[in-house]
Structure 1
Amino acid sequence: MTFEKKYFPITCEVGFLEADFDSVISMFKEWQEKICKSDQITFIVEELKSQFPNSLERLLPLTSLEGRRFVFIQTNSKWVAFFENGYPYPEIDSVVGYLASKLKCRTIRAGWSENQFKKSENIGSLGATIFTLYTPEVIDVDNCKRSIQLINEGSSWRFYEYGEKLSFEKSVNYRKKKKEDRFNRQILASYLSSFGLDFFDENFYSGKLILIQKVGGELPSSKIYNLSEAQASLEFTPNWS
């Protein structure tokens, strides 16, 4: 079983930051402390000794309404990977978008979820493939340079693209009749490889690992989920084929 299936939904989205590892940790912690100004809230930084992907278990339990545990990994490239423990899905977009401007670097939101939805029975986890590139500079209204998304919304697939096409894109795929063929796991992997990223290879996440944990100030209506509970509620089967 691949790690992205075993640890779904933690792994359905990953953030990548093209920046110095220690600078990423420092800026993220500073940002979170500024947001959460309270004597009741602290942020604990811990270097993890366990290797990827087992280290992702330190993100459990998953929490609704907000992420409270965050793992940063030095990959075997110039990029830092970012995972968090939000439920039902991790909140990657706002983090990489903000840190791109603060760290003056490129960041990427990458996402892939296996489509297990059976429309005739209205059951199963909904699939998605996501690529979003952020830069330090504001483009139009924000710093999103390019975004491509294919999302199963249950009743139909929605294909969305924004921004100027990048040189490596195979835009002929975007005109395919079946929307679910326009942007898939293989195409996403190919696009990410143009940045030196290998989302789906667990050996890519081979460097230093840091866990940042938010302690205190829990939201009253927030709920927690272990991995099997989260997968069951999202109708996701790890060994589905």
Structure 2
Amino acid sequence: MPPRQSPAQKLAARLLLGGEWAPVTNKIGFMQRPLDVAVDEWRTWAQESYHQPLAGFGVTEHRGTLRELLSELLPLGYGQRWLLLETANPGWTAVMENTRDTAVLGPLGEHFASARGIPTVQVEDVPKNLKHMLDEPARGRLGGRTLITFEEAGLRRFLSLYNSEPWKFAENGEPYDFEDTEQYLLPRASDCFPHETLVDICRNLGLDPFEEDFYVPNGRAFIIEALHQPTADDPGGTRYTLAEARAGYEDLDHPRVDEPVIGNALYPLGSANPHPDTVYPALGHKPFRKPTPWDGALKEFEKSVQRYSSYPASAWLSEGLEEYGVLASPTYSTGGTGSESISVRASPLLLEAPPEVREYVAAFAVLQWTQANGRSISEFYPNRKQMGIIRSLYKEHGLYPFDVTSDQVYRTLTIDKMVREVTDLRITQQLVDWEKRSSEGSPEERTHKYDRRNHSCAWEVGKIIQDQEHLIWNAQVDDRRKP
């Protein structure tokens, strides 16, 4: 009579390849694109991801059985390698990575769905096989089961059974029509989301993640990998064989391997694919941006920001700025000489404004910082005599006392002066009229507790100062001015 199987062994037998390629197959991702399209999408994401190897990314096509193709991910645990496999449903591609623990599969979250319009599914099923030991940490895994689906609008469905001793069940998103939601109300968490339910949902989505014959019907797959090599002092340079990665986790007969020997010896180059078919360069990290109605205007605004900046510059959408009555918020960053940069967060209100408004705001945002040639707004900041003249002009127009701090007023006028000195931009009546219209709204909008709109720094008074600037910045009252 064969030995009695534990619940963990029974579940493992129902998983892909009987669980023999866990931890790689513990979590499997799917993207709703044919294989060749999916490879291009994943490679494009990788080139702009936070993985930025100097040697770029290699893409290699492989053919073979599922087990043979999984072996192309070796070694496990070092570097970034992803295996993209065709499936029996030609509209879907499976993705696995060279993990020795828990796969990340980062872009299968919001990136592909929201940024590229590609529906994605992530499936995870890990048996609970904990074994407590007397003189070493427990062996095995806590276990868990998860389904996550994303559509273009964002998260569609999240179901999770996780072991926090005791088991707990959680769900989020909109149920599919074919789900039995009554099941989720059962008193025992483990009954709410059994393996059979995960399989049933996946099959309704056109996927069969735990069946070997669902994968590579034509034997095709691709490896995409970051091309960087381990060094002697690289703490993350350890490379595991499958057996070393399973020891102490799936394989309870052996202790965990913290310092792999065989893997390091077998894969000195850190990859099973030392000569990829094609190499693509890393293009620099570009954080995920969800498409918005303002993308075109943001790109043009970024060009304006770069036009006036003597440092690398970028622009970002910040929808929360409108709540504060702020059009744009610039940030100057430096990690030392030669690494300065400027980024400007722009509100939707600004991006919907006329081009003249965006242009002036771009110059104002950038030129308030010291330029690469050392020039700064300090050469225009008013002295006491000039401050007196400014206050007099404000009084003439019923705008004194200021409704913000005096330093904020003087600094705003100084930046305006800097803009006029180094560009041909001016505060026009068009800018004044637009600002007046944009500040109109319901009483609730005008009296928001965070709204920082004020009159002392408005373009209306800025134009008054601009028209009278000869009274302020002249040699008689400013000893920095040459006669």
Structure 1 pair 4/10, CA: closer, same or farther in 2 (3 Å)?
farther
Q: Is the alpha carbon distance of 1:4 and 1:14 closer, same or farther for their aligned partners in structure 2, counting shifts above 3 Å?
A: farther
Of 28, 40, 49, which residue of structure 2 is paired with 1:14?
28
- Which sits farther off after the overlay, 115-124 or 11-20? 115-124
Aligned position for 1:144: 155
Residue 88 in structure 1 maps to residue 104 in structure 2: no
**Equivalent residue runs for 1:1-241 within 5 Å:** 3-35=17-49, 40-63=54-77, 68-77=80-89, 78-92=91-105, 94-97=106-109, 98-117=111-130, 123-137=139-153, 143-153=154-164, 155-205=165-215, 206-207=217-218, 208-216=220-228, 220-222=234-236, 223-236=238-251
Cα deviation, 1:14-48, whole Å, max 9, x if unaligned, reads 11111132221112112211225757232111111
Partner amino acid, structure 2, of 1:194: N
Aligned residues: 229
> In structure 1, what is the Cα distance between the partners aligned to 2:230 and 2:50?
11
Bigger relative contact order, structure 1 or 2, given CA contacts below 8 A and separation 6+?
Answer: 1
Shift of 1:100: 2.1
One-letter identity of the residue aligned with 2:87: T
- Whether the 8 Å CA contact 1:116–1:236 is kept in 2: the answer is no
Distance 1:216 1:14 in 2: 25
Question: Residue type matched to 1:165 in 2?
Answer: P
Q: Give the superposition deviation at 1:62.
A: 1.3
Alpha carbons 1:24, 1:103 under 8 Å: kept: no
TM-score normalised over the length of structure 2: 0.44
Displacement, 1:84?
0.6
**1:187 Cα deviation from its structure 2 partner:** 0.8
Write the distance in 1 (CA, Å) between the matches of 2:62 and 2:229.
Answer: 24
Following the alignment from structure 2 to structure 1, what is the Cα–Cα distance between the partners of residues 85 and 244?
A: 26
Code of the aligned partner of 1:225: Y
Q: Which structure has greater strand proportion? A: 1
Instruction: State percent identity of aligned pairs.
Output: 25
What's the offset of the Cα at 1:168? 1.1
For the 8 Å contact 1:112–1:129, the answer to whether it is kept is yes
Unaligned runs of 5+ in 2: 1-12, 254-483
Q: Following TM superposition, by how much is the alpha carbon of 1:61 offset from its aligned partner in structure 2, in angstroms?
A: 1.4
Q: CA RMSD in A?
A: 2.5
Distance 2:103 2:18 in 1: 13
Deviation at 1:235, TM superposition (A): 4.8
Q: Which residue of 2 aligns with 1:140?
A: none
Give the 3-state SS of the residue equivalent to 2:172 in structure 1.
strand
Give 3-state SS (helix, strand or coil) of 1:147's partner. strand
Rg comparison, structure with higher value: 2
Quickly say closer, same or farther: Cα 1:135–1:218, change in 2 above 3 A: farther
Structure 1 unmatched runs, 5+: 138-142
Does the 8 A contact of 2:145 with 2:161 survive in 1?
A: yes
| Deviations 1:51-86 (CA, angstroms, capped at 9, x unpaired) | 11331111111116xx51111111111211011112
